A and B are shown apart, each in its own frame.
Chain A
Amino acid sequence: MKPKHQRLILAIIAVIGLLVASLIAINALSDEASYFYTPATLNDQNVEIGKAIRLGGMVKQGSIQSASDGVTINFIVQDKDQEQIVRYTGVTPNLFVEGSGVVADGRLDKDGIFIADNLLAKHDENYVPRELQDIDMSNTQKLEKSVVQ
């Protein structure tokens, strides 16, 4: 065997070893390296009350409700099949709208409500021009009107 081939085999073995080692490490990290809990992982893992965590997911359509004090809002964060009620007092980010992503810093209270101290908006992987969106919305509004009539 030529030394060149020996080195090639050694290099391949080294690269494979490196990949396996890092895969094992990443697997061990798995949830630890997540930036936030989703409603599903929050329910699964019985996170203790009052522990500082982050919760992320979609703001459920039609779920944002303003409280009587005018600065507090309640809304529901959802993932595929689970939901979590969130309460937040303060100014919301510009991109905080129903149907969009959100990540909240805060903690669970004893009633199972997530009390958020800070909200970060999360943008998803879709990029759609505003004009197209307007056309869609005007169509649905027309539809709604015609239904009402």
Chain B
Amino acid sequence: MEKFLMGEYDIIVVGAGHAGCEAGLAAARMGKKTLMLSINLEAVAMMPCNPSIGGTGKGHLVREIDALGGEMGLNIDKTFIQSRMLNTAKGPAVHSLRAQADKNRYHLEMKKTIEKEPLLDMKQGEVIDLVTNDGRACGVVLRTGAVYRCNAVILATGTFLAGKIFIGDSVFDSGPNGLAPSMELAEKLREYGLPMRRFKTGTPARALADSLDYDKMIPQDGDSEIVPFSFMNDELEKDQIKCWLTYTNEKTHEVIRQNIHRSAMLGGKIEGVGPRYCPSIEDKINRFPDRARHQLFIEPEGLDTDEMYIQGMSSSLPEDVQQAFYETIEGLEHLKIVRPAYAIEYDCIDPLDLKMNLENRTIENLFCSGQFNGSSGYEEAAAQGLMAGINAVLKLDGKEPFVLDRSQAYIGVLLDDLVTKGTNEPYRIMTSRAEYRLMLRQDNADLRLTELGYQVGLVKQDRYERFLEKKAVVEKETQRLKLKIISPEAANSLLEELGTAPLKSAQSLHELMRRPEVTYDNTASLDPERPELSRHQKTTMEVEIKYGGYIQKQLAQIEKFKKLENRKLSSDIDYGSIKGLRIEAQQKLNDMKPLSLGQASRISGVSPADINVLLIYLEKERRS
């Protein structure tokens, strides 16, 4: 096939899913001429699985992406059709925002944003090879023969790479949702010696809305007061749709058990490793045989479609079995399947082959993101896309990498886990993975990250000013509340009403707000001269007052953590020559080239004694 040069860019992004979109937008917004390529432009910001954004840990990621100047938060705020704040009773660190998205509008809005971005071009085309020069990525080759040259490539191939769909014993090469897979590129990456492997995931069937009986299901409403994802939005109002809850029963389980031999998942056809938190229904029944029922949610896929997503019921059983077991469920007796459930297997890289800036260790200037790195989920993908985009730009500009640590962001936890520890299954973020959860709240993501986003040049002036204002207002109002003294006479009738003990002597409103029953809003009558605060300002201020003591404790822990994190390790250290390191540690350290002693201490096979040896080594180097 004849090849021909079609264009030159600074950066090329392969893939236009959630990782690709953030990568492309970040690179372009930071001033690089960027090209985004996708096998099919209908797949831009496509949600091939559940129609929702956010949730525990994931909602935190979206807030962080937003705080750094990413797009996901803004896009879901434009296109959500139901919004809920989860975990409100379980503490400020784990309040988690989740929104049901209108899938098609989500895709269209994101596509529009990309189309309008001045330095960003978007093209339909299948990348079948990389162009490399002296071990450095410098272009891509399309199936048409077109060659685009560039200085850095960002891979964001999702589940397209050597994608293979399983429905019963029907197995065929395919990307998600019936789109074409990317087969040749997968082969080429293996030829280049990248450590590739197979992961799998799955999705449930979609049913026609009119074929369901909603009287038999339990409605789930959105919150009456909507909290936006983006720090750029304060108040949003919208008519929200309902979701529906129903359960499987013994009959369902019976149908599945009788046909289990026809499942691709359990029939041994699938070699890829699936995520434990996303099991198929046959998996659930197999592993938890004593459970009498499993819950499922019926979620609309959008306002312009009658397709309904059956959350909790992914499967790789044949279509006839799917029809049979779905029909046993209350409310689903007459269901019409629009799209069958399927399992999909795909190629991804062992993330241990990446550096903390998401650059590949084997091929220079090749950045990697999203499911390609072994993660799972739209939010995890977007977070990595954003970081890959930023870091590709910084690399080309000869600047220091932008790396967030575990005490700064869930993004830091996500990347450190992937790159330092690796993963044996598609990786999902969870709040329990974060050591400093009380600091990594979703309400303060802007206070943690917007300044940094501004410094790297992704956060623009309007967002930055908004952040500065929030910071100033929160500080000023917190100080004012410390000085605002409330007398027992003024407060006690209100306190009684709120069900909390009366005051014996005068106290500051700041002190009073530490009580669980007392909030900023319900004390408004005691404090008529207070200024008007926005929702985001109020939330952060309130959390910091209420949990001040615990936050201080966590800050002390972080200070300790930082001591090792701040001890930087140069990438040209030859660990093999350091006497006193155990052989295993020498090898691992030489493979990983950790950025700091902190990162080194998290590598499996590096012991506390090895870290001590490194400390002595560093001091020795400093002095000589």
- Asked if A pairs with B, the answer is no
